[in-house]
A = this chain, B = another copy of it.
Amino acid sequence: MVTYEQSLDQRGLLVVLTGPSGVGKNSIIDALREEDPRFFHSVSMTTRQPRKGEHNGIAYHFTTKDRFEELTRRGDILEYDTYCGEYYGTPSAPIDRMIQDNIDVLLDLTVNGALELKRKCPNAIIIFITASTEEALRDRLLARGTESEEAIESRLATAREELGRINLFDYWVINDVIADTASDIRAIVKAEKRRVSRFFVDECTL
């Protein structure tokens, strides 16, 4: 039987942003958190070495391979992926706490990470962010000026390949003007809190 009580929303949402390198995910997260500081940005854990200027707990939680593998065995890593031989993953505990406290959690994950999370938590929203065209993405990567032309072409090839898997995602948001992108994502979060399936699908256990 359906009761009115079921319509009351008391849990936070897991909101995953995925998209090619250079598409502007960090700026989008900053814009969302500036407007609503209650958005919690989950910081990933990695086994790679910190780069110059990277502080532990800000860009990443840095850890060792042994520790990462131990956490994974204990089921304390929600999702993880490997890149260049290093682990990148999401620790479960802080996210679980936020969700229970009705705080929405933003995660920045790879395509595989996003899909793995969605399998575990069907209530998570996975959003694919792209530029408006491949040329726009190329321009952004060039503007960053941190990579060789070859590295940029390789990133564009990856982006092209990943776009082919967009049909596995829930939403496709174009990042052209940051304010519009943030407004789209806020609307998505607001709408998802009224989705009927959300009131009837079992929660995931993190």
Q: Answer whether residue A60 sits at the interface, using C-beta atoms and an 8 A cutoff.
A: no
Contact at B130–A166, with CB atoms within 8 Å?
Answer: no
User: With A and B bound together, what is the CA distance between A1 and B1 in angstroms?
Assistant: 43
Contact at A4–B167, with CB atoms within 8 Å?
Answer: no
Contact at B167–A194, with CB atoms within 8 Å?
Answer: no
Give the contact-size bracket for chain A.
Answer: 20 to 34
Residues of B within 8 A of A171 (CB): 191, 194-196
Residues of B within 8 A of A186 (CB): 187
Q: Answer whether residue A128 sits at the interface, using C-beta atoms and an 8 A cutoff.
A: yes
Q: Answer whether residue A30 sits at the interface, using C-beta atoms and an 8 A cutoff.
A: no
Q: Answer whether residue A85 sits at the interface, using C-beta atoms and an 8 A cutoff.
A: no
A16 to chain B, nearest CB (A): 13
Task: Tell which of A184, A191, A199 has the most Cβ of chain B within 10 Å.
Answer: A191
Using a CB-CB cutoff of 8 Å, which residues 137-186 of chain A contact chain B? 163-164, 166-167, 169-174, 183-184, 186
Q: Answer whether residue A58 sits at the interface, using C-beta atoms and an 8 A cutoff.
A: no
Residues of B within 8 A of A163 (CB): 2, 4
- Given A4-B133, A173-B194, A188-B191, 16 more pairs with CB closer than 8 A: A2-B166, A4-B130, A4-B163, A7-B172, A167-B200, A169-B196, A170-B195, A172-B194, A172-B195, A172-B199, A184-B190, A184-B191, A184-B194, A187-B190, A188-B190, A188-B194
- What are 24 inter-chain pairs, A to B, with CB distance below 8 A? A1-B164, A2-B164, A7-B132, A7-B172, A7-B174, A166-B196, A167-B196, A167-B200, A169-B196, A170-B196, A171-B191, A171-B195, A171-B196, A172-B194, A172-B196, A183-B190, A184-B194, A186-B187, A187-B187, A187-B190, A187-B191, A188-B191, A188-B194, A191-B191
